[in-house]
């Protein structure tokens, strides 16, 4: 038992939930030293954030209950400490930042005040607190920090908000910073910047950093050591390098195998004639041009990936093609007929041929319908597909096709996990026997291992049913093994397009290159190389 800065010993926490008692973490132990970065790696449900919540006294009891363990900070067991002492520790000696900074910042107060509050809560004077806030905001790279003090969270971009959170956490130069999925919802280029910032700040202050993440790339990029969690237990611990090259636990192995961008790139065969041709598609919202003059073809049976960061207009394409929104100008030719010129009635008929899978299956499945009702709804709309007597059998068939069982048909969506829900959504799309399926960030919200399964499923369907995919994603590695061709989009324009090989092996456009280098790779060596290249690019 050395003198670690922070040590979690045999911590067990459980929660009362709808399913009864759930053991969130079960006797886990880890430690952190000064100046060190520890990554806690795990997927949703692994309990990776629970120990952090316990450290920060953020577990509500009830429904939570800490059943065993110690949290030794500087030799003192926090779990035995008085509430007031824990409050004094929070923010001052141990700070925490969260995923989704928008909801973790109070929407109705200026960010300056919120940052200064960390110091105010610990007895600083107003002037001193605001001075410190100002200098920190400058340090984390907020432009015009003086003006930014009185702005509100919604007036910043996602990356800036996370920088503000970081400033808030570092107000009192804490000894430990816990970052819970700090980059998850951010664009890849922003993610890289935030990770670099954390790295720099750690070097400056000598604090210990706990990085909670589901992303092997983040571990590879930033961690000195990592623990891997599954089902509330730590299954493996070690350096990123060891974990990557010699994973011992099957779960770690599974995670690594699921990491995208490691498989074989597809080599496009002879292209079938195009079924969907998009010409000069334009969409503006007032003065803002979301999409400027975009054109591309989609051929039968091929997979075309559209990659870009938020605001690039990639999802707008999907909505325009499917007429969920009306385009400002342009043509969308479906087998030679302009979809944009169709009357709503004609369009409704054609819709069965073009289906869509949305990003968040929790929201895209009607919570008030059973799986059976969801999947069979298309047949109720398009009466000629299937006679009612066969619905039941076909639903069962479809469910099995997407890897679920017929028994699931009568359940409601909320009874399924995220990956299962997305399978249901895919089954719903398949039910209409479409020729094209547009996937709008269809796997972005899923855990890595689930992502892999869903992509495999889609690939399988493509091969078996000859469906063409328009696959929209924000992440290049994700589409590497799946797509035939790739469009790279930035600010409403296609900056580069080509086959997977062309993009990955010989990207021409600087933006494409930046995207490639900003992507995090699970291999610490590859990642180190990428980081170097990125720095070079930044300097250039």
Q: Shortest distance, CB of residue 135 to other proteins, whole angstroms? A: 18
Q: Restricting to residues 38-57, name those near other proteins by CB under 8 A.
A: 44-50, 53, 56-57
Question: Is 486 an interacting residue with respect to other proteins (CB under 8 A)?
Answer: no
Q: The tokens of 117 are what?
A: 């509050």
107 in contact with other proteins (CB under 8 A):
yes
Task: Give the residue from 127, 218, 207, 224 showing the smallest Cα distance to 172.
Answer: 207
For other proteins, the binding residue among 96, 188, 227, 448 (CB under 8 A) is 96
For the record, the structure tokens of 540 come out as 């250039």
364 contacts other proteins (rule: CB under 8 A): yes
Name which position in 414, 460, 466, 529 contacts other proteins (CB under 8 A): 414
* Residue 44 near residue 214, CB atoms below 8 Å: yes
Distance set, CA 174 to CA 98, 183, 482 (Å): 16, 20, 44
Residue 67 sits in the site that holds other proteins (CB under 8 A) = no
Mark the segment that binds other proteins (CB under 8 A) among 85-93, 257-265, 330-338, 479-487: 85-93
Q: Does 512 bind other proteins (CB under 8 A)?
A: no
Stretch that binds other proteins, among 2-10, 12-20, 192-200, 252-260 (CB under 8 A): 12-20
Give me 5's structure tokens: 């800065």
Count of Cβ atoms closer than 10 Å to residue 534 Cβ: 20
How many amino acids of this chain bind other proteins (CB under 8 A)? 85
Q: Is there binding between residue 109 and other proteins (CB under 8 A)?
A: yes
Q: Which residue in 69, 91, 112, 158 binds other proteins (CB under 8 A)?
A: 91
Interface map 373-412 toward other proteins (x if CB under 8 A)? ----xx-xxx----------------------------xx
Residue 395 in tokens: 């639903």
DSSP assigned state of 290 = E
Smaller CB separation from other proteins, 169 or 211: 169
Are 133 and 115 in contact by the 8 Å Cβ rule? The answer is yes
Stretch that binds other proteins, among 93-101, 247-255, 462-470, 475-483 (CB under 8 A): 93-101
112 touching other proteins, by CB under 8 A: no
Residues 85, 89, 90, CA angle at the centre, nearest 5°?
120
Q: Does residue 82 bind other proteins (CB under 8 A)? A: no
When asked if residue 99 is in the footprint of other proteins (CB under 8 A), the reply is yes
In the region spanning residues 268 to 327, those forming contacts with other proteins, defined by CB under 8 A, are 322, 324
Secondary structure E strands in 225-336: 225-230, 233-238, 274-285, 288-299, 303-308, 329-334
- Pick 300 or 369: Cβ nearer other proteins: 369
Task: CB nearer to other proteins: give 439 or 488.
Answer: 439
What token pair was written down for 338?
């302009």
**Cβ of residue 528: shortest distance to other proteins, in angstroms?**
29
Among the listed residues 418, 501, 502, 509, the single contact to other proteins using CB under 8 A: 418
Q: Which is nearer to other proteins, 177 or 294 (CB)?
A: 177
Under the binding rule (CB under 8 A), the answer on residue 16 touching other proteins is yes
Which residues contact residue 183 at a Cβ distance below 8 angstroms, ignoring those fewer than 6 apart?
A: 162, 190, 191, 194, 195, 213, 215, 218
**Binding flags for other proteins, 421-460, as an x/- string (CB under 8 A):** ----x--x---x----------------------------
Produce one character per residue of 424-451: b if its CB has 16 or more CB atoms within 10 Å, e if not.
bbbbbbbbbebbbbbbbbbbbbbbbbbb
Provide CB contacts within 8 A for 376, sequence distance 6+: 391, 394, 395, 431
Least Cβ distance, residue 415 to other proteins (angstroms): 5
Among 87, 254, 335, 394, binds other proteins (CB under 8 A): 87
User: What residue ranges in 379-492 does DSSP mark as E strands?
Assistant: 436-440, 468-473, 485-490
Shortest gap between Cβ of 490 and other proteins (angstroms)? Answer: 25
Residue 61 makes contact with other proteins by CB under 8 A: no
Distance CA 167, CA 137 (A): 6
Residue 500 to residue 33: CA distance in whole angstroms = 43
Please pick, from the candidates 22, 79, 81, 495, the single residue that binds other proteins as defined by CB under 8 A: 22
- Among the listed residues 8, 39, 365, 455, the single contact to other proteins using CB under 8 A: 365
Of 160 and 355, which CB lies nearer to other proteins in the complex structure? 355
Which residue lies nearer to other proteins by CB, 37 or 355?
A: 355
Burial class of 282 by CB neighbour count within 10 A (0 to 12, 13 to 18, 19+): middle
Question: Does position 108 bind other proteins by CB under 8 A?
Answer: yes
| Shortest CB 424 distance to other proteins, Å | 11
Q: Is 104 in the site for other proteins (CB under 8 A)?
A: yes
Number of residues in the chain = 540
* CB of 356 vs other proteins, minimal distance in Å: 5
DSSP states along 158-196: HHHHHHHHHHHHHTT--SEEEEESTTTTS-HHHHHHHHH
Distances (CA, A) of 190 to 158, 165, 211, 309: 9, 15, 17, 10
Closest listed residue to residue 25, CA positions, set 74, 56, 64: 64
Q: Which residues are paired to 233 by β-bridges? A: 230
34 binds other proteins (CB under 8 A): no
Q: Which is nearer to other proteins, 215 or 496 (CB)?
A: 215
Q: Which residues contact 196 (CB under 8 A, 6 or more apart)?
A: none
Shortest distance in whole angstroms from residue 1 CB to other proteins? 28
Which range touches other proteins (CB under 8 A), out of 104-112, 258-266, 469-477, 492-500?
Answer: 104-112
- Residue identified by tokens 């580069």 is 496
In the complex, minimum distance from the CB of residue 233 to other proteins, in angstroms, rounded to a whole number:
13
């Amino acid at each position: 038992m050395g003198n670690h800065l922070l040590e979690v010993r045999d911590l067990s926490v459980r929660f009362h939930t709808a399913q009864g008692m759930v053991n969130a973490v079960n006797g886990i132990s880890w430690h952190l030293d000064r100046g060190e970065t520890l990554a806690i790696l795990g997927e949703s449900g692994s309990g990776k954030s629970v120990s952090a919540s316990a450290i920060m006294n953020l577990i509500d009891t009830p429904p939570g209950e800490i059943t065993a363990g110690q949290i030794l900070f500087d030799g003192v067991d926090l779990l035995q400490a008085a509430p007031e002492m824990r409050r004094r520790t929070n923010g001052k000696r141990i700070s925490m930042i969260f995923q989704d900074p928008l909801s973790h910042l109070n929407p109705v107060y200026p960010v300056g005040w919120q940052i200064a509050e960390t110091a105010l809560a610990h007895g600083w004077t107003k002037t001193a607190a605001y001075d410190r806030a100002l200098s920190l905001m400058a340090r984390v790279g907020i432009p015009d920090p003086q003006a930014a003090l009185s702005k509100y969270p919604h007036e910043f971009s996602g990356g800036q908000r996370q920088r503000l959170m970081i400033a808030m956490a570092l107000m009192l130069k804490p000894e430990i910073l816990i970052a819970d999925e700090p980059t998850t919802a951010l664009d890849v280029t922003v993610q890289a910047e935030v990770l670099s910032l954390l790295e720099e700040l750690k070097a400056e202050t000598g604090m210990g950093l706990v990085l909670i993440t589901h992303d092997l790339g983040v571990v590879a990029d930033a961690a000195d050591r990592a623990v891997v969690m599954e089902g509330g237990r730590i299954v493996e611990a070690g350096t990123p390098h060891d974990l990557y090259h010699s994973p011992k636990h099957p779960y770690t192995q599974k995670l690594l195998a699921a990491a995208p961008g490691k498989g074989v790139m597809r080599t496009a065969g002879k292209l079938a004639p195009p079924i969907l041709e998009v010409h000069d598609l334009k969409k503006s919202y007032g003065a803002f041009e979301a999409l400027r003059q975009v054109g591309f073809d989609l051929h039968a049976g091929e997979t075309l990936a559209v990659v870009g960061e938020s605001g690039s207009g990639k999802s707008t394409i999907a909505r325009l093609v499917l007429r969920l929104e009306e385009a400002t100008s342009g043509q969308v030719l479906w087998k030679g007929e302009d979809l944009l010129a169709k009357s709503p009635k004609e369009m409704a008929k054609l819709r069965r041929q073009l289906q869509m899978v949305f990003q968040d299956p929790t929201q895209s499945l009607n919570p008030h319908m059973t799986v059976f009702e969801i999947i069979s709804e298309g047949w109720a709309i398009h009466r000629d597909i299937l006679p009612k007597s066969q619905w039941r059998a076909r639903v069962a068939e479809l469910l099995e096709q997407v890897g679920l069982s017929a028994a699931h048909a009568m359940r409601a969506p909320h009874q399924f996990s995220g990956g299962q829900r997305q399978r249901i959504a895919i089954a719903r799309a398949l039910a209409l026997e479409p020729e094209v399926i547009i996937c709008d960030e269809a796997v972005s919200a899923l855990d890595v291992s689930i992502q892999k399964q869903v992509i495999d499923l889609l690939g399988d369907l493509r091969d078996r049913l000859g469906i063409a995919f328009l696959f929209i994603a924000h992440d290049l590695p994700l589409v590497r093994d799946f797509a035939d061709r790739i469009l790279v989009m930035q600010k409403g324009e296609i900056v580069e397009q080509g086959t997977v090989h062309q993009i990955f092996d010989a990207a021409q456009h600087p933006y494409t290159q930046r995207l490639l280098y900003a992507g995090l790779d699970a291999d610490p060596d590859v990642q180190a190389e990428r980081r170097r290249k990125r720095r070079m690019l930044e300097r250039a």
